């Protein structure tokens, strides 16, 4: 069974979390290309929240950010063009953000399978709260009533993979202030909305409990053993 080290970063600036991921990716790729057979990639799952930030994927369209730069600064919102897949999305307080840094050669060597497994971990998490969710054909992420005029996304997913090592991940709206999505065209999709768990449940969700449920579902879906890491094997920690 594959081992995954879990690290809860708490509330952390987006760029700081990105730097940690890139450092872990660099270390993992170095081990994979090493001639030393004892060098084994350390799989990691980072859990966190971010202060208000918009991030644009490498295939995204800058015009999907509806704010001007001076408006971003005035409203205390950061913006980053990233190297993940997907278009533009929002991160902020009240989200569950998960960044798995995994050697996907140990998890089926398939980006498609990896994305579906990320979705499945979220789907099973939401089921524990009685939220009926589905996939939407042709789109990545997790949706509510996807085939209706009320279709709305509850979880966005965007990843990057280098030598079969993954970074970036998913953002599940838990107690999220959805008004921040009004300043973007979320994921570049113009005809569908966004939602959050507290909206669907009509009440605030215990985020610490939600984290535990998600970690358990991640463990089951990916068939891994998870241990909590006190430190990370990077120069950043």
For the packed helices 207-222 and 111-127, what is the interaxial angle rounded to 10 degrees? Answer: 140
pLDDT tens track for 213-235 = 999 999 999 999 999 876 665 44
Which residues are within 8 A (CB) of 209 and not within 5 positions of it... i.e. 6 or more apart? none
- Residue ranges of domains in the chain: 49-222
pLDDT band of residue 132 (cuts 50, 70, 90) is: confident
pLDDT for the residue numbered 68: 85
For the domain 49-222, what is the CATH superfamily, name and number?
Bira Bifunctional Protein; Domain 2 (3.30.930.10)
Convert 89-126 to b/e letters by CB count within 10 Å (16 or more is b): bbbbebbbbbbbbbbbeebeeeeeebbebbbbbbbbbb
Q: Which residues are catalytic?
A: 187
User: HSE on the CB side for 111, CA within 13 Å?
Assistant: 16
First vs last C-alpha separation in the chain: 27
pLDDT tens track for 72-105 = 988 899 999 999 988 999 999 999 999 999 999 9
């Amino acid at each position: 069974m594959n081992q995954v080290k879990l690290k809860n970063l708490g509330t952390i600036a987006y760029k700081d979390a990105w730097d940690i991921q890139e450092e872990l990716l660099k270390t993992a790729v170095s081990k994979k290309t090493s001639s030393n057979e004892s060098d084994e990639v350390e799989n990691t799952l980072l859990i966190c929240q971010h202060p208000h930030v918009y991030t644009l994927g490498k295939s995204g369209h800058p015009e999907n950010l509806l704010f001007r730069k001076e408006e971003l600064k005035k409203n205390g919102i950061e913006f980053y063009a990233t190297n993940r897949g997907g278009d533009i999305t929002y991160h902020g307080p009240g989200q569950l953000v998960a960044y798995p840094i995994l050697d996907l050669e140990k998890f089926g060597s398939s980006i498609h399978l990896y994305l579906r497994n990320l979705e499945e971990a979220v789907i099973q998490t939401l089921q524990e709260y009685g939220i009926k969710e589905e996939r939407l054909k042709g789109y990545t992420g997790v949706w509510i009533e996807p085939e209706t005029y009320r279709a709305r996304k509850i979880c966005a997913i965007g990843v990057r993979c280098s030598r079969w090592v993954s970074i970036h991940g998913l953002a599940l709206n838990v107690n999220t202030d959805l008004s921040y999505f009004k300043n973007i065209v979320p994921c570049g999709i113009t005809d569908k909305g966004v939602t959050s768990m507290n909206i669907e449940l009509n009440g605030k969700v215990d985020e610490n409990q939600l984290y535990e449920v998600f970690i358990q579902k991640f463990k089951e879906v990916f068939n891994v053993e998870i241990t909590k890491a006190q430190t990370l094997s990077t120069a950043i920690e």
